[in-house]
Amino acid sequence: MRGMATMTLDGNLSLQISKDPQKHRVVTEEIDGLIRVYNDGHVERFQIVPCVTSILPPEFGVNSGDIVIDKLSKIWARFYVPKYHGKKIPLLVYFHGGGFCVGSAAWSCYHDFLAKLAAGANCIIMSVNYSLAPENPLPAAYEDGFKALMWIKQQALSGVTDHQWWSSHCNFCNIFLAGDSAGASIAYNVALRIGDAAPPL
């Protein structure tokens, strides 16, 4: 992260000894307006984009919902399923951007964009919410991306799952990876790992 951020000190920060540890924290790393890291390990992210629930207006013609992928690592994904037209449709696995340290599958900009993309492209979209740095430095995000793909494989092999509302419409033989910014890097690294897997995935 040091290559991405500038070292700064908050001019409004009091360095006087206090019973409240928050009053004498020192900022060690900061990306202005995005994220601030303190010397005690505390991370503060600024809400530059609002997070929204999975609810969509009926006119979108898309059902959406959140599913936990891995409870231990707290990976979850938001699914977008367009109106069913009688055949199984492709799955697009999407990874959001944010320099590996900010961003969320719940950000309103991604929520609206991916809902419209699912409807326009007639595909199911799985938007993965992966671990962020600096709490979880790379390659954690890459590992989360691969775990998401392994979870999809498990759903495909199991046949009957608790998530029929999306899996019953999915053509598991037609899966694509995509992302923007840091998310594009995750998609690329996951694709490389899949290509090197033995036996093939």
Active-site amino acid positions: 181
Residues 200 and 179: their CA atoms lie apart, in Å, by 23
Closest CA to 148 of 200, 79, 98: 79
Q: Mutual orientation of helices 182-196 and 140-158 as an angle, nearest 10°?
A: 60
Rounded Cα distance between 198 and 176, Å, is: 20
Alpha carbons 189 and 184: distance in angstroms, whole number: 9
The amino acid at 190: V
- Written as one letter, the residue type at 25 is R
Cβ count within 10 A of residue 33 = 8
